[in-house]
Amino acid sequence: MTLNLTALSAGIGQLVASAQEEAELFGEETDGILASLGTTPFWPVWSSVWELALRLLINIVTVGIIVHAFYYPKAKRRDYYFTFSLIGLSIFLLIYLMGGVKLKIGFALGLFAIFGIIKYRTEQVPIREMTYMFIIIAVAAINGLATSISYFELIGTNLIFIAALAICENTKWMKHVPSKLVKYDNVKLIAHGKEDELKADLEKRLGLNIIRIEVGNVDFLKDSAIVKIYYEPIMDEFGTIDSVTKTGKMR
């Protein structure tokens, strides 16, 4: 009987020890599986997802305000509206998702240089559109790259861009003065001392309130000259054909 109890207790001890070893082994395997899942890109880290979503929302709202509230009401260019919106989104995602690569300043400057020399094959990008393009690239780059600052600082930086645009677009002496290139047929009035007569003749023909006149190329054989006039806009809009002298050619 004593031997049976001793053997029984020894067997129970072995079962308990083996059970503990299996539990420890199972627990280590479970922890390893969960850890490996957490490090794979297919297992979402919700803190990173929320950070991406919040920064993306800030970027979309800022770019939307810049394009819809400041650029489009005057330019009425849907092609650039489309371009600016997608550039803002593309630059943000490119920089944010490559943030782990430790982007160097050379890469950032190269990115600005690539977009800074953009010229479409159909037409050159006007200076105003280029300015807005640089602003949108800067906003997207800051929102995607400045991950070490707080959200309050990030939102404040975006508000500075919006405030600067509001001031520049609504300050009278900083407003854009529209201009036109005119092929003028009376070269007698382009002589020095006849500026008032030239202005009156152009205002009568064009029906515009002219502010300033510049005389360009003069062709005495054809009795014509290229004149650039600056005038007060009838509507608060930007013309895209003002600098066209011939079909398909811009000066």
Using one digit for the tens of pLDDT, what is the confidence trace for 60-118? 999 999 999 998 888 888 888 898 999 899 889 888 887 655 555 566 556 656 555 55
How do residues 177-206 score in pLDDT, each as one tens digit? 778 888 888 888 888 888 888 888 888 888
The answer to whether residue 130 scores a pLDDT higher than 70 is yes
**Listed residue (49, 40, 81) closest to 64, CA to CA:** 81
Q: Which tokens sit at 37? A: 């899942």
Instruction: Read off the pTM.
Output: 0.61
More confident residue, 81 or 236: 81
Q: How crowded is the C-beta side of 133, counted as CA atoms within 13 Å? A: 20
Residue 147, pLDDT score = 79
Which conformational region is residue 49 in: left (phi greater than 0), alpha (psi within -120 to 50 degrees), or beta?
alpha
Q: What is the pLDDT of residues 202-222, one digit of tens each?
A: 888 888 888 888 888 888 888
Here the tokens at position 96 are 């944010």
